[in-house]
Amino acid sequence: MHTFEKVLTTNTAKLATKALTNSEIRIHGRKDDRSWAENLHQPDRTSVLLYPSPYAVELTTEVVSQLTGPVTLIVPDANWRQTQKFVRRESTLEGILHVKLPIGLPSEYRLRMQRHESGVCTLEAIARAIGLLESCDAQRQLETLLRIMVERTLWSRGMLAADRCVTAGIPQAAFSH
């Protein structure tokens, strides 16, 4: 996660780490601090970088079947410009397989604007990747979590009526004053 992202209330990577017990956030973008890169490569694991670089391969069930051992999914969390710089400059990421998501449904994240029509927020990207790496059920659970977060945030900002929040399975009583 870029250091500027950690203070944003709309950051979904923090929510992902709470939902995924074997995950962690490493902060990059602090001057002269390279601690985020420690132990990024583990010999008994396959690391993949979820980033749509020009040489990224589409993450498919066929690609997943070719991965050996447990997989470490590395997902940059920053704005598009920061992420491009991060991936281009970080020597620690050299030699790691770059993967990109197949084109899917439009993003349900309505709290920030996406630069690209096919763009998704960090939690959506993680959910879709886990859907391919692990299970569709895990993907659905993460996507439900995102929907609830988005709808509650919009409701708290006065941008969504309580009766619209039922679509995510949130009980009306949760919105009583």
Amino acid 176: pLDDT: 47
Amino acid 48: pLDDT: 94
Amino acid 144: pLDDT: 93
Amino acid 131: pLDDT: 96
One-letter amino acid for residue 107 of the chain: S
- Structural element, H or E, at residue 116: none
Lateral strand order in the sheet of 97-100:
57-58, 97-100, 46-50, 71-74
List the structure tokens of 168. 């995510």
Rounded to the nearest 10 degrees, the angle between the axes of helix 122-133 and helix 136-156 is 170
DSSP labels for 131-150?
HHHT-HHHHHHHHHHHHHHH
Amino acid 129: pLDDT: 96
The percent helix, strand, coil of the chain (3-state, each to 5) is 45, 10, 45
The candidate with the shortest Cα–Cα distance to 40, out of 101, 100, 80, 90, is 90
pTM of the model: 0.79
> What is the Cα gyration radius of the chain?
17
Q: pLDDT tens for residues 96-147?
A: 899 999 988 777 766 556 656 667 888 899 999 999 999 999 999 999 998 8
Distance of CA 134 to the CA centre of its chain: 15
Residue with tokens 């790691």: 96
Local confidence pLDDT in tens for the 177 residues of the chain: 776 676 676 777 888 888 998 888 887 766 766 656 667 778 888 999 998 888 899 999 999 999 998 999 999 887 767 777 777 777 777 888 999 999 887 777 665 566 566 678 888 999 999 999 999 999 999 999 988 888 888 888 787 665 555 444 545 555 444
Q: Where are the domains of the chain?
A: 5-137
